[in-house]
Amino acid sequence: MTAASRYTLKADPWSSHSVILRWSGPGRGRRALDVGAADGLLSRHLTAAGWRVVAIEGDPTMAREGSSHCERMVVADLEKPLPVLGEPFDLIVYGDVLEHLKDPLGVLQMLNRTLAPDGRVLVSVPNIAHFWVRLNLLVGRFEYADRGILDRTHLRFFTRRSLHRLLQDAGLEVVRQTATPVPLYQVLPARWHGRLLAVVHATGAAAARTFPRLLGYQFVVLAAPARRVTSFVSHPARVSPRRGQSTEQISV
């Protein structure tokens, strides 16, 4: 499977992508950092919502494709020193990223230094304690796959408790959280998409929110610097003197 085919927008209203974009709200000229941006999957929507987006991506090809959807694209390995990223960010987004890192805590701590005092962090990660994984463990199975919770590129696994602990160790506090259902629209063939699937998916979403540890497929968390947890409200727009776009390659 190619990188381009791996990362597609999960557009249904209960997906992690939809929740992230909904919770990020209108940018009004504020600055956002899209971490692990791929080809601009989320950056393009954040930009359309009025955010001034700086994106970080390790794959030069994908970064080149995504550079038109943000003000600045930085091509870099997240787990090595990064260049100066400019003014503090009002929002940092880790959309399905932390599970791919060797040292997610180190990356969070490093990038937290670029977060504005009243900034927010949005994180989505898969739930290793999902019912299906538990059931497979009961029968002695733990097999990697091309996608999903046991995606073979995942290096770290999270429960809701361990995710909270990670954020706490990074100096963040949870403001808001939810769990998403199994992404049926990505799992099932298009011929099955219809009214019945919509009803089943909505029911699954309600069940995931009710029993997040057991039925949550992914966790989405909005966090803030510790001891600064307040409502995520809009702030006066910061006007950028220039609205350029660039792709930046650094040595790593």
Share of the chain above pLDDT 90, in %: 76
Residue 175's nearest CA partner among 209, 218, 222 is: 222
Of 2-11, 43-52, 82-91, 183-192, give the lowest mean pLDDT range: 2-11
Per-residue pLDDT, 6:
55
Top-confidence residue, 193 or 12: 12
CA distance 210 to 221: 16
Per-residue pLDDT averaged across 100-105, rounded?
A: 97
- Structure confidence at residue 196 as a pLDDT band (50, 70, 90): confident
pLDDT digits (tens, 9 = 90+) for 121-140: 999 999 999 999 999 999 99
3 state SS of 252: coil
pLDDT at 190: 65
β-pair type (218-225, 115-126): antiparallel
Cα 198 to chain centroid distance, Å, stands at 24
Greater confidence (4 vs 228) lies with 228
Residue 3 has pLDDT above 90, yes or no: no
Residue-wise pLDDT tens digits, 51-68 = 999 999 999 999 999 999
What does the DSSP 8-state code read for residue 111? H
Tokens 């787990």 sit on residue: 79
The answer to pTM > 0.75 is yes
Angle between helices 104-112 and 160-169 in degrees, nearest 10: 40
Which whole-number Å values give the CA distances from 153 to 3, 18, 64, 99, 185, in the listed order? 11, 23, 22, 8, 22
Please answer whether residues 153 and 100 qualify as being in contact, where contact means their C-beta atoms are separated by less than 8 angstroms.
yes
Enumerate residues 6+ apart whose C-beta is below 8 A from 156.
Answer: 98, 99, 100, 101, 102, 104
Q: What are the tens digits of pLDDT across the range 210-252?
A: 999 999 999 999 999 997 554 444 343 333 334 444 434 332 2
Name which residue leads in pLDDT, 153 or 2: 153
Residue 106 pLDDT exceeds 90: yes
Which helix (DSSP H) or strand (DSSP E) does residue 16 occupy?
A: helix 16-24
* Residue 47 clears pLDDT 60, i.e. is over it: yes
- Alpha carbon distance 108, 116 (integer Å): 14
89 neighbors 114 (Cβ within 8 angstroms): yes
**17-31, 97-111, 118-132, 173-187: the lowest-pLDDT one:** 173-187
